[in-house]
Structure 1
């Protein structure tokens, strides 16, 4: 069971971070005691990239992207019944599939759609850069928050396939249910703002919240890589 490190003064509160950059800086301060040279950050696009860049920069760690795409229900562009990770790993929420009566053909179609999206995003963001080797290293998976936790779970399982020494999940904010889902599967969770209740939204932790464009995400990644590994 992975340990949870949180900020008790932020428990249950909303609007505790100015924006993702502020959240990344504060997350890095807590993480510094738990990482070392040679560890690496995997940021989940899009929202996890500005957070991950700040963590990697301030903890002086390498940075790569962990591209994960939801397998979406056919009638929505937001909610998913599973996810596909950058190495092809597929995670399915069978309870959700059964509850909503998804057929095998629906599942196969939406998983393939997510797989193509992952491949396309990897090419766009890495632009020829080789993925970092995770074997025998400590990996810090970063996102801007955890609602259900299933996207992060897919990332965790994909990481595990590559045999890292240790997996840390680091997020500014998380729901209690997401923490409980992930704790048995990782070594450490750092979630500064943990919130319970029936309704949880990642955006509620931020004063300034907006979607990031692909160009913004690319700019953040390329800027970091050029400055640190050119």
Structure 2
């Protein structure tokens, strides 16, 4: 199973969500790659399109290996098993965490003009795939603090163990293709180009500041 691109994945995901009843839905694409997916979901559900930003916290000396994540304002979260394995503490990663929080704030300032109301609404956090789930968990926890009526994580494909784990942070997790053989999100896409800031702003309808 492979999607043609993120828009194709979004349409598949939208079909998996279409048979439910939604209350004032807000669809938050997890930047950057989740935004093209979220566009299709918001269109199909008649919901408002928005953006969420969570930044991976990489291990010291191995920035590609995510051991945590942080949002613009929420508390950082860490994979405690990964920290123990690498003999790291949260204090060891404080500088990296601060830098990633600053980048999250920069992106939010670029993508949107101000805060979006979540309270009482069905809020769907959408990404292009779920690997470890650490950035999705950070985004969900920040959203939970704004008292949504129902909090949903929706992804077209993901690692089966991560899908199960994220049920602790969302009221509902929707993943049409939960895979035990999951290795990387990109292998499930024929086209998986990096999404740029300019593309995110364009997809959001020019809501971000230029």
d(CA) in 2 for partners of 1:21, 1:77: 29
Equivalent residue, structure 2, for 1:130: 114
Aligned pairs for 1:33-112 (under 5 A) are 33-36=19-22, 38-103=24-89, 105-112=91-98
Contact 1:174 1:191 in 2 (8 A): yes
Question: Which residue among 165, 168, 176 is the counterpart of 2:152?
Answer: 168
Equivalent residue, structure 1, for 2:127: 143
- Aligned-residue Cα RMSD (Å) equals 1.8
Question: Which residue among 184, 191, 202 is the counterpart of 1:208?
Answer: 191
**CA deviation after TM superposition for structure 1 residue 55, in Å:** 0.7
Contact 1:35 1:59 in 2 (8 A): no
User: Which of the pair is proportionally richer in helix?
Assistant: 1
Equivalent residue, structure 2, for 1:10: none
Cα deviation digits, residues 77-134 of structure 1 (max 9, x gap): 32211111233331122221221122554311111111111111111111xx222111
**CA deviation after TM superposition for structure 1 residue 147, in Å:** 0.5
> Runs (4+) of structure 1 moved beyond 6 Å?
none
**CA deviation after TM superposition for structure 1 residue 37, in Å:** 5.0
Contact 2:23 2:121 in 1 (8 A): no
Indicate whether 1:218 and 2:204 are aligned: no
Name the SS of the counterpart of 2:123 in structure 1.
strand
Contact 2:72 2:102 in 1 (8 A): no
Where do 5+ consecutive residues of structure 2 fail to align?
A: none
Name the SS of the counterpart of 1:98 in structure 2.
helix
Contact 1:41 1:139 in 2 (8 A): yes
**CA deviation after TM superposition for structure 1 residue 210, in Å:** 1.6
Where do 5+ consecutive residues of structure 1 fail to align?
A: 1-13
d(CA) in 2 for partners of 1:101, 1:35: 46
Equivalent residue, structure 2, for 1:119: 105
Cα deviation digits, residues 60-86 of structure 1 (max 9, x gap): 101111110011112233221111123
Q: Number of matched residues? A: 208
